[in-house]
Structure 1
Amino acid sequence: MSQEAIICIPGPWADRTKFIEAIIKHQPEGRFLFAGKILSHIGGNDYVSLDFCDPYDGMRKAFRIAGQGRISEGTLDLIQNHEGVAYLHFPLNWLEQRERLVKFTKALQEAGGFAVNVESSGVAHEWDRWFSLLTGSSFDVYCSAVTLIGAAERYKSCGMHHFGLPECSLSRDIDVHEAADLMNRFNMYQIDERPRLASGHTFSLDAETPCFRLTLSADSSYDPDDPFHNPHGVWDLEPKD
């Protein structure tokens, strides 16, 4: 099965019927329709796959963790009391899909959705931040889908598969702020420049900063069927001797 970008939106919809009513009443009425597992934009002759599911007991915790302190307590309280969940499925090409991401998630916001979580990378946003990132700079778009995490021995990015590129990782011996800056800038270098990299190549931010040797390895952090798994692998950055 090919991977997808999965967008989670909890809301006040007590059942499928209530959700359909909220979608149909989207102004102007009839602009969007939901039938089967398809959310259709009638005027735009466009559609996206949508699963409507029962509430999830751990939703507040999931958004609190994925939001990394950016989700307000008020929004978390709404999420705590959600009555239904919509999961949108998009092709895994973030840059090409971002206008569709805005269009369909905006429809769910206006239908009562509380916030958005990118289930295929584990990063959550309040609505204002979500739309600002998707319509902003290339770094903003990157931040909408990619997060940095700290594993036992290494820092690692998660979400670069949304751009068709490998993750990157660094030793936790490096200062956390320096590591975050280096990882973000390396990932943006991948996105903006699309360089032809290979194991053994080196990377540095400039002539005055440390140089790192690159090694491409498989993404062993997640099983291949996990939405977080990156089939393109991981660039391990090690200080060059």
Structure 2
Amino acid sequence: MNDKLVICIPGQWKDRDKLKRSVQKKSRGEYVLAEDLLMDTKHNRAFEIRFQEHDAKLSEAFYYSERGMMNDKALHKLDKHTHVLCLMSYMGSLDSVQKIVPAVQLLLKSGGLAVKIENSGKAYTSEEWDRLTSEARVDQLLHTFVSYRQNEQYYYSCGMQMFGLPEAAISMDTDPDASMQVMSQFLYGLLTHVEDQGSGSQGFKIYGKTYASQLEPECFNEEEPYLHNPSGMYVLTEVV
């Protein structure tokens, strides 16, 4: 089981020293790249990094990501990357997600081309990332970091382990657009503690309908280390 939040950032850096100098310049010395760490000297924290060579399959991975909306121009740009930097930190809270956002923004300003969140499969161009995380509000982070998938029976979320919370799932019998709204609203409530939605004893209301939640110990990504959520998932059911 993976316990790290992992974000991959391809870039056009000649070598590690070039990236190191760019990071120091763009952050005005607040961030320092040293060995296998990116250190935030202002807030006294550090992130693990892996600096890797060109990956010939990278643009394909971005193309088949959960977003799947990168245009040909963006994918062609990714083909020209020289290295890939993987940024890692321990996950499990809203705070841990909020802290990694500025580090990602800095790496994009320092020559990064795009972002792929390994814990949910979502991918963005640098422009999309800046727009979506500009204020780092809870709703922005939820939308940016968490993806939604489906199997033969359920629509379900993927990525809530980054926040230390269970996933949400709802029957395929639900209208697809409505199901995403219900799940995102429920997960937003968990993140902001708007109401005790996790008790299962009381429902939550959205668009005039009431839904009950039942916590199940397992989620739908048990076999995928980066996607596995040890907190399980809430199955949401409309109360008729």
Q: Is the 8 A contact 1:167 1:234 kept in 2?
A: yes
* CA RMSD, Structure 1 to Structure 2 (Å): 2.7
Please tell me whether residue 36 in structure 1 is matched to residue 35 in structure 2.
yes
Q: Aligned residue pairs: how many?
A: 238
SS state of the match for residue 208, structure 2? Answer: coil
The 5 Å alignment of 1:72-87 reads 72-87=71-86
| CA–CA distance in structure 1, aligned partners of residues 19 and 97 of structure 2 | 24
Query: Which consecutive aligned stretches of 4+ in structure 1 deviate over 4 angstroms post-superposition?
Result: none
Question: C-alpha displacement at 1:236, in angstroms?
Answer: 1.4
SS state of the match for residue 39, structure 1? Answer: strand
| CA–CA distance in structure 2, aligned partners of residues 116 and 240 of structure 1 | 39
The 5 Å alignment of 1:158-169 reads 158-169=158-169
**Deviation per CA, 1:56-107, whole angstroms, max 9, x where unpaired?**
2332232233362543432222112212110111221452135532331122
SS state of the match for residue 113, structure 1? Answer: coil
Q: Match for 1:38: what amino acid?
A: L
User: Which residue number corresponds to residue 140 of structure 1?
Assistant: 140
User: Which residue number corresponds to residue 219 of structure 2?
Assistant: 219
Q: Is the 8 A contact 1:202 1:214 kept in 2?
A: no
**Distance change >3 Å, CA 149–CA 206, structure 1 → 2:** closer
The 5 Å alignment of 1:1-241 reads 3-26=3-26, 28=28, 30-66=29-65, 68-93=67-92, 95-134=94-133, 135-193=135-193, 195=196, 197-198=198-199, 200-206=200-206, 208-223=208-223, 226-240=225-239
| CA–CA distance in structure 1, aligned partners of residues 84 and 48 of structure 2 | 14
Q: Match for 2:150: what amino acid?
A: G
Where structure 2 has 5 or more consecutive residues not aligned to the other structure, the ranges are: none
| CA–CA distance in structure 2, aligned partners of residues 68 and 196 of structure 1 | 28
Q: What is the TM-score of this pair, normalised by structure 1?
A: 0.84
| CA–CA distance in structure 1, aligned partners of residues 187 and 112 of structure 2 | 31
Between 96-105 and 205-214, the greater mean CA deviation after superposition: 205-214
**Distance change >3 Å, CA 67–CA 232, structure 1 → 2:** closer
SS state of the match for residue 227, structure 2? Answer: coil
% same residue:
24
| CA–CA distance in structure 1, aligned partners of residues 25 and 6 of structure 2 | 24
**Distance change >3 Å, CA 182–CA 207, structure 1 → 2:** closer
Question: C-alpha displacement at 1:174, in angstroms?
Answer: 1.5
Q: What is the TM-score of this pair, normalised by structure 2?
A: 0.85
Between 67-76 and 169-178, the greater mean CA deviation after superposition: 67-76
Between 51-60 and 149-158, the greater mean CA deviation after superposition: 51-60
